[in-house]
Amino acid sequence: MCHLRARSPARGGVVTARREVPLLVRLAWDCLDQHRHRRCGKCAEAGFCPVVEAARHRIREWRRFRHVWGRR
């Protein structure tokens, strides 16, 4: 689990502790969480999944954007 995310017992979902995370990045994290527990129809036998790679890429780009623009 990412150190920026924490469970909220009141809402039952995942919320940020210090800052707002964009919706598409939250969806990318949810995709990675779902693939950690079960495979989708696009997953290959070798373990490669284009959906997971797209989610990882989106998260990396968001982190790079925050780093470049000083939003840590």
- Each residue's pLDDT tens digit, 9-20: 444 555 545 568
- pTM for the model stands at 0.61
> Please, what sign has the CA dihedral across residues 31, 58, 67, 11?
negative
Residue 13: the pLDDT is: 54
Nearest by Cα to 26 from 15, 40, 11: 15
Helix, strand, coil abundance in the chain, percent, nearest 5: 45, 10, 45
Helices 50-68 and 23-37, axial angle in degrees (round to 10) = 140
pLDDT the model gives residue 67: 84
pLDDT (tens digit, 9 = 90+) per residue, 5-60? 554 444 455 554 556 888 999 999 999 998 888 888 788 777 788 889 999 999 99
